[in-house]
Chains A and B, each alone.
Chain A
């Protein structure tokens, strides 16, 4: 493997618009909110001069890369990245590469999406081919449940506890969409979407945008005194689990593979003790449960004990989804990975308010999407 990426690039500014059903905001409005907050955070008052290039991530983009450059009037090299739910993390990865390669000094990364202009409350049911089933993301991600429950004795209640935790954390994050605690009984009693997922096992659909400003490590302190260092970033493709002959439906391969790569880059050997805070993809509660194991936060099959003991709650050994995750923020696909970076930067700078993880030094963010077929992971470090 070639030279490591470790600590060559730093985040010096971050911003996030209010996530929600933003009926009165266009994608441009949300992009401007997120980017200008990130400029201010980086102390940039002249983006035209300071930003060399833009990497943007969106799945529902109507106008391609132009949507972002036109909103910000940044007539610069602009790249649009699309990679399912890993889109935001992948746009960030491409931006980090461009700086590590020495092509640019300072780059803006913007993730955004606007699914609420489509007139449906859930995701679209996509049918392009004859053999497409009436299928939804809930149906894809639920396919590990029957097998995992049978093998490890977990059940809907373990999933519901994750929803309860994330709803609670969401009340502490100013920019979250859902700010309401729920009970275990509410979660278990909600209407069924795709077994075993009831309504509260599913992330909401929302609109949102988030941004980070990244720069060369050696320039970082010219923006602000507490830059956050990029320890590792990776994106992995995996086989379509629906047709993969070797799939055991007990874990998702893209996460396992991406985690190996990210930990190698970052020099992490014991993720549970070395990582202080993590934002983990919780499009569905089971996705978060499987990711605890696939990311090496606990042994395979042990997730339910850790859920019960609160290992991943605020105040636990390794708090996960401190801002409420996709559950509370919703999932504007391209924005999510960058929104997670926003939360991790606040945590590493000690600015996360009532949800602050004490002394957080290493933070991980994770997305998995597609069938799922793509995973992105970023590891950040306090400097």
Chain B
């Protein structure tokens, strides 16, 4: 039976309140509506990797036959995200990779393609990642309604936690929400037109079409993870589909925001956190038509060890204090010089170092056993030559040896916390993120996250950073 074997999600810890976006003071207790915002070192790739790492916990990475990456905000127009992510996740060399793009439906389309591939027998396990990080023009309603985040699913044919029960899609041509190659910000036509002529008719047709294909089971508990750009249109859609309130997965408006191609998948991940065996799940997304998939939770769902899902991430938050901070973090602020667009960072160095930089591989000396980083020819400890085995450091725990707080380098929120971190004896120079300067001390236990380092050469350059080990992970 083809189904979902595991899931994971990621929401950036950074939140910005609607009041802050509008330039008004936040409530003292930060209780107002807000959205999740990817910070300066995050984007679709880093969020997608984080969701995938949560999804793959406890699963053999070598068992992944393909990875599909869905987003409307791939960092490159020409150059694949899925292949980059396959390297970062240290997947097999012969893994299949493809990007799904260009539509808010990309996430559910990728999920459907994965289900089809597994059902057809061309792959046994497919990792599906949906991640989005869209930009609304500063001050616009879209800037407020958007959110950033990612979900990941492992689709396979053995012991699924939820099996696929059917799918239905309709295609439509409508210029309602778009971004051309030249645009930095998403455009939207008049809201009532988008809802009345685009969103509602397409989603209603897709969902009704799907339900018509399924065996009638009105008495069975059902939960629907529905895409809609905002709270009002979401309520209209649920009403039109005659769904009772308890059948609608909380769309998290005012907490997460509309995460684009990742939105319906993230709501599905949230629904899976709570699903009981036998419960029917429905996920539907909109964009140039609409698409709906049905799943049925199995008894296996009770055996899956707890995932880091949407609720885990929503519980972890840090408020941004000003709109200006947000603009700087998203590269929208004015700066004295534009980043250099020249060749910049050497592509050949990037190529040679990709095992270390992307897969975070260190090495263990076969002579003395010392673990070291980066990959080098002569052992740092016993001077043996070319006798090492590679070791993936990203899974291991680390410990801060020493640190400094760098106020000199321009970042949206100085200082930059810089550490020397010990990973099984290897010493690695790493930034520490997701914490405050006064929380850093030698001996601090850390885990590792994949983040953007800099834009030298006019393109994103990714590497790993340390973050405090979450409580309960010791």
**Contact indicator B402/A194 (Cβ below 8 Å):** no
A242 to B372, CA, bound (A): 11
Of chain B, the residue at the smallest CB distance from A138 is B408
Counting CB contacts under 8 A, is A155 at the interface? no
Partner of B353, one of A131, A134, A143, A150: A131
Q: Digit string of A107-150 for contact with B (CB within 8 Å is 1, else 0)? A: 00000000000000010010111111111101100111111001
Partner of B463, one of A131, A243, A245, A247: A131
The count of residues in chain B whose C-beta lies closer than 8 Å to any C-beta of chain A is 44
**Contact indicator A245/B408 (Cβ below 8 Å):** no
Q: Pick from A134, A145, A246 the residue with the most CB of B within 10 Å.
A: A134
Chain A at the B interface: mostly helix, strand, loop or mixed?
loop
The segment out of B46-54, B251-259, B295-303, B412-420 that lies at the interface is B412-420
**Contact indicator B402/A146 (Cβ below 8 Å):** yes
Known: A127-B454, A130-B345, A193-B408. A243 touches B372 (CB 8 A): yes
Known: A242-B420, A245-B380. A135 touches B409 (CB 8 A): yes
Of chain A, the residue at the smallest CB distance from B411 is A134
Counting CB contacts under 8 A, is A195 at the interface? yes
Counting CB contacts under 8 A, is A310 at the interface? no
A150 to B456, CA, bound (A): 36
**Contact indicator B349/A128 (Cβ below 8 Å):** yes
Minimum C-beta distance from A121 to chain B (A): 10
Q: Digit string of A239-251 for contact with B (CB within 8 Å is 1, else 0)? A: 1001111110100
Minimum C-beta distance from B463 to chain A (A): 4
The count of residues in chain A whose C-beta lies closer than 8 Å to any C-beta of chain B is 35
Counting CB contacts under 8 A, is B461 at the interface? yes
**Contact indicator B373/A130 (Cβ below 8 Å):** no
Q: Pick from A125, A150, A242, A245 the residue with the most CB of B within 10 Å.
A: A245
Counting CB contacts under 8 A, is B403 at the interface? yes
Known: A135-B418, A139-B418. A128 touches B345 (CB 8 A): yes
A134 to B412, CA, bound (A): 13
Residues of B within 8 A of A195 (CB): 404-405, 407, 415, 437
Counting CB contacts under 8 A, is A180 at the interface? no
The segment out of B57-65, B391-399, B423-431 that lies at the interface is B423-431
**Contact indicator A243/B442 (Cβ below 8 Å):** no
A244 to B431, CA, bound (A): 18
Counting CB contacts under 8 A, is B462 at the interface? yes
A150 to B441, CA, bound (A): 10
Residues of B within 8 A of A134 (CB): 406, 409, 411, 416, 431, 454
A303 to B415, CA, bound (A): 29
A193 to B404, CA, bound (A): 10
Minimum C-beta distance from B311 to chain A (A): 33
Q: Pick from A138, A139, A145, A193 the residue with the most CB of B within 10 Å.
A: A139
A130 to B350, CA, bound (A): 7
Q: Digit string of B419-455 for contact with A (CB within 8 Å is 1, else 0)? A: 0100001111111000001000110000000000110
Residues of A within 8 A of B441 (CB): 146
A145 to B442, CA, bound (A): 11
**Contact indicator B357/A131 (Cβ below 8 Å):** yes
Residues of B within 8 A of A129 (CB): 345, 349, 353, 357
**Contact indicator A146/B403 (Cβ below 8 Å):** yes
A143 to B366, CA, bound (A): 30
Q: Pick from A131, A191, A195, A246 the residue with the most CB of B within 10 Å.
A: A131
Q: Digit string of A181-197 for contact with B (CB within 8 Å is 1, else 0)? A: 00000000001111110
Residues of B within 8 A of A122 (CB): 408
Minimum C-beta distance from A188 to chain B (A): 15
**Contact indicator A242/B407 (Cβ below 8 Å):** no
Of chain B, the residue at the smallest CB distance from A151 is B442
Residues of A within 8 A of B453 (CB): 130-133
- Between A and B, 14 residue pairs with Cβ closer than 8 Å are A131-B429, A132-B454, A133-B429, A133-B430, A143-B420, A145-B404, A146-B402, A146-B403, A147-B401, A147-B402, A196-B404, A239-B380, A242-B429, A244-B427
Top 8 closest pairs, chain A to chain B, by CB: A134-B409, A142-B404, A195-B405, A242-B429, A131-B463, A130-B357, A249-B402, A192-B407
In addition to A242-B420, A245-B381, 7 A-B residue pairs with Cβ atoms within 8 Å of each other are A128-B349, A129-B349, A131-B357, A131-B429, A134-B406, A243-B429, A245-B372
Chain B residues with a Cβ under 8 A of chain A: 345-346, 349-350, 353, 356-357, 370-374, 380-381, 401-409, 411, 415-416, 418, 420, 425-431, 437, 441-442, 453-454, 456, 461-463
Chain A residues with a Cβ under 8 A of chain B: 122, 125, 127-136, 138-139, 142-147, 150, 191-196, 239, 242-247, 249
